[in-house]
A and B are shown apart, each in its own frame.
Chain A
Amino acid sequence: LAKTTQPISMDSYEGQEVNITCSHNNIATNDYITWYQQFPSQGPRFIIQGYKTKVTNEVASLFIPADRKSSTLSLPRVSLSDTAVYYCLVVPYSGGGADGLTFGKGTHLIIQP
């Protein structure tokens, strides 16, 4: 089961690009990398997932190097509403069970005007 490590908190300003890096040194061949966003008093919301290289959607981009031991969530031109906690999870591609369901403390991103 891949353990993830991310910074506890980060600060940035409106209009900047924010990159949050997650380490997962013992990721398995069949594991996917998934990111969630959580606002205060709400449940987490899925943002993006990927296996290798780069994935982009309307919300964010996910960069995964060739060795897959880390991943970087990139939020372009952040606004105050991007202030939230961001969680990195490593989830097995196949099967059910509880693997990949550990959210950890996440990264508390604070965006300032």
Chain B
Amino acid sequence: NAGVTQTPKFQVLKTGQSMTLQCAQDMNHNSMYWYRQDPGMGLRLIYYSASEGTTDKGEVPNGYNVSRLNKREFSLRLESAAPSQTSVYFCASSARTTGTSGSDYEQYFGPGTRLTVT
């Protein structure tokens, strides 16, 4: 049981390049999330997926796209990287599902991807 895995761990891009950050979870969770964390700051939600086949914008979605490929995988794509997107990116998952009640909103986080855009 690996929990939440992210690839790659580190990446350096030049301005204008594109890349996809991969995330997978093996806990059969319904919801998945992408956050970014800038130095000395808290986490900011980029996009989330409350269930397979649905995605919604979070606080800072501009410059990013996501794909919920299946229940396990949720990818984040930078189409044209900018220096302002230099950050650490965390993927998370939880059992929480839209339309249901319960306390299954505990989030499990991956190890992060450290991205530098020059």
Contact = CB atoms under 8 A, between A and B. Distances in A.
Given A41-B112, A43-B109, A95 B45 contact: no
Nearest to A50: B103
A49 interface: yes
A5 to B, nearest CB: 13
Contacts of B107: 36, 44, 46
Dominant secondary structure of chain B at its interface with chain A: loop
**How many interface residues does chain A have, given as a range?**
20 to 34
A45 B107 CA distance: 8
Report which residue of B96, B98, B100 has the largest number of chain A beta carbons within 10 angstroms of its beta carbon: B96
B58 A97 contact: no
23 contacts: A32-B105, A42-B112, A44-B43, A44-B90, A44-B109, A45-B109, A46-B106, A93-B101, A94-B102, A95-B100, A95-B101, A96-B31, A96-B96, A96-B98, A97-B50, A98-B56, A98-B58, A101-B33, A101-B58, A102-B45, A103-B43, A103-B44, A106-B42
